[in-house]
Structure 1
Amino acid sequence: MVFASYEEAHAKVRELCVEHLGEHIGAQVAALAKPAFGLRPVKPGIEPAGLGRWGGPALLNPGTPWPDYDGVPLSLFAVLDVDALGPWLADERPPVGDQLLNIFYCDPDPGRGYELGNAPIPDYEGPRYCRIIPADPARAIEMDAPAPATIRDPEPFYAVPVITIPSAQGVTYDPILDTLDYGGETDGSPYYESLPGWLIGDKLGDAWRDFCHQVQGLYTYEDVHFSPDQAFGWPHMENTFPLKEMSEDEPYRHIITIGHYDMGDGGYLHFVLPAKALRDGDYTQTVAFLEGF
């Protein structure tokens, strides 16, 4: 289903939340909704989202150094063409001028000379282990990854406008849900003091998953494959990550989730940063959380 406008999509989400959570809590959850884009491989008859793609060379402004982690060049995972996504994002957009976002992660290739014995002890959840580097499409040039960074063939994607709310999977949920006023709904529950947000997953979880799959085509591809690839909005999370400190003043921001590559035993990466850092265009505070399955 393609919504005529974000307002129409939000009205549907509010109706669903109030139906399953009641007016008091449901309206609060619906107020947290954010626009996003599901990312899908381009197929015949569908135009790619501008220069957006997984893999390929980076698109960087001249003179931009290739990012590294303690001397190990990072691998280019994706390029996100923000302007090509259209007006759906509204106020959720990055700062003006940050049209192209190059998404990097530390994933060196032994086939290109990487030796584990020489590697530093990794800080997987540190901001240096990943990087988001903006570029101007009018100036950007293609840059190939230096060895031993992994090189992947470019795969264009198209973007599907969707609406998202914070993840709630039973007792595993986005910590931003702890900030809601539950109005005594969970009084007497053993979860209340430590996990008040469990109520959202318990009462809304199945209905929200059906809405995502059946109405939005979100988190599925061709009705068969689970596809977490998504730009902006709230990320779909099955596990709990340490996001509370990133949201001390206001909720964190999500740039992209990438599940297009084999990350060992499977899994996907969420790239997130503090809200103020995104407003300021300070991508050095971005961290990438690897979620396995």
Structure 2
Amino acid sequence: MEPNATLTALRDFCAERLGADLADRFVRLARPGFALTEAGPGEAAGRSRFGGRAMLEPGTEWPTCDGFPLSLIAVLDTDALAPWLDGVLPAGTGLLNFFYLDSDSEHADPAAMEVSRKLDYLDPQPGRVIAARSAHAVETAPPARSSVFDPVPWAASPGFAFPDTYDPAWKALDLGPDVDDMARVMPDTYIYDLLTDWSERPGALDSEDIAFGRPEFPTGSAPLLPNDDDPNLYHHLLQLSGQGEWYIGGDGGWMHWSIPTEALRAGDFSRAIPTPDIW
């Protein structure tokens, strides 16, 4: 099903349970995204994958943090994903390379931990996103001390993501004049109490690893950004719940990268930042 047809089916599903007006307002919170799962033969979304080598244009500098090389975590092939994203990012964006400072995996150089200890939780330096035009990108060998993870190609199943429980995006939802104060304080609870079969909706994203869409925060937090920036002005790029070889520290953690929406529309991925969720 193509995105407009899926969105219409999703709106109809919600209208049967919320009424047409509230359903229309609620579905405006939906953002197109992809559930990422390990690809079988012939299922890969272009060159999208976890791990492997970076796909960079010749002459691109390898990103560093305080002089220490970051590690390639994932690649998204936006040429394969673009038809579902409906203008979310510029045409021809190509491959997005996601980097982070690996200080916790079994591959990590011990010196990376010393670098990470100097950094604040919200410091953007440990992460970077670098775009490369597909026709020009080549596999690029990492510098010494940068971790390399076994590549896992991704299949990408399209759908629509909604805000997580404490996401400030809920504040924009008008529930109508007849709801009580508790519903206004907890709009997500009010909505999902009415959508008792929510898991059966059209366009559900059934994966903890997600491209684009909206982030999930299992710690019960919300998107945390440097300088108290408004999360509503950012767009989500990638969520990783954890992989066999790599995790971001703490007792557990999910990794996210986000970007100001106006930078995304301009194709300026130098402004993308990591927004990790660690407990």
- By the TM > 0.5 criterion, same fold? yes
Note closer, same or farther for the CA distance 1:280–1:176 as it changes in structure 2 (3 Å cut): same
**Percent pairwise identity:** 36
Equivalent residues, number: 270
- Looking at structure 1, the residues matched to 21 and 240 of structure 2 have their Cα atoms a distance apart, in angstroms, of 34
Q: Quick check: 1:127–1:285 contact (8 Å CA) kept in 2?
A: no
Compute the TM-score of the two structures, normalised by the length of structure 2: 0.84
Partner of 2:166: 173
Shift of 1:181: 2.0
- Looking at structure 2, the residues matched to 50 and 288 of structure 1 have their Cα atoms a distance apart, in angstroms, of 24
Shift of 1:196: 4.6
- Structure 1's unaligned 5+ residue stretches are 220-226
Partner of 2:65: 69
2:239 corresponds, among 248, 257, 275, to 257
Q: Quick check: 1:76–1:105 contact (8 Å CA) kept in 2?
A: yes
Shift of 1:200: 4.5
2:197 corresponds, among 188, 193, 207, to 207
Once the two structures are superposed, what CA deviation does each residue of 1:149-178 show, in whole Å capped at 9, x if it has no partner? 2210111111112122223xxxx3321110
Shift of 1:206: 4.7
- Structure 2's unaligned 5+ residue stretches are none
Q: Quick check: 1:123–1:129 contact (8 Å CA) kept in 2?
A: no
- Looking at structure 1, the residues matched to 56 and 107 of structure 2 have their Cα atoms a distance apart, in angstroms, of 25
Partner of 1:224: none
Q: Quick check: 1:56–1:152 contact (8 Å CA) kept in 2?
A: yes
Letter matched to residue 211 of structure 1: E
Shift of 1:182: 2.6
Partner of 2:17: 20
Note closer, same or farther for the CA distance 1:20–1:76 as it changes in structure 2 (3 Å cut): same
Matched position secondary structure for 1:284: helix
Shift of 1:120: 4.8
- Looking at structure 2, the residues matched to 37 and 286 of structure 1 have their Cα atoms a distance apart, in angstroms, of 19
Shift of 1:9: 1.2
Partner of 2:213: 233
- Looking at structure 2, the residues matched to 111 and 52 of structure 1 have their Cα atoms a distance apart, in angstroms, of 22
1:102 corresponds, among 97, 100, 107, to 97
1:288 aligns with 2:278: no
Shift of 1:47: 2.8
Q: Quick check: 2:34–2:211 contact (8 Å CA) kept in 1?
A: yes
- Looking at structure 1, the residues matched to 241 and 99 of structure 2 have their Cα atoms a distance apart, in angstroms, of 14
Shift of 1:69: 1.3
Partner of 2:175: 182
Partner of 2:86: 90
Shift of 1:204: 4.9
Once the two structures are superposed, what CA deviation does each residue of 1:236-271 show, in whole Å capped at 9, x if it has no partner? 3333223695447x6421111122424243332121
Compute the TM-score of the two structures, normalised by the length of structure 1: 0.80
Note closer, same or farther for the CA distance 1:207–1:175 as it changes in structure 2 (3 Å cut): farther
Partner of 1:136: 133
Once the two structures are superposed, what CA deviation does each residue of 1:90-145 show, in whole Å capped at 9, x if it has no partner? 122x2233211001111136755423346551233232221110001222122222
- Looking at structure 2, the residues matched to 119 and 292 of structure 1 have their Cα atoms a distance apart, in angstroms, of 14
- Looking at structure 1, the residues matched to 204 and 189 of structure 2 have their Cα atoms a distance apart, in angstroms, of 25
Q: Quick check: 2:35–2:205 contact (8 Å CA) kept in 1?
A: yes
Once the two structures are superposed, what CA deviation does each residue of 1:25-70 show, in whole Å capped at 9, x if it has no partner? 32111122222111111113x3311111110110111111111111
1:147 aligns with 2:144: yes
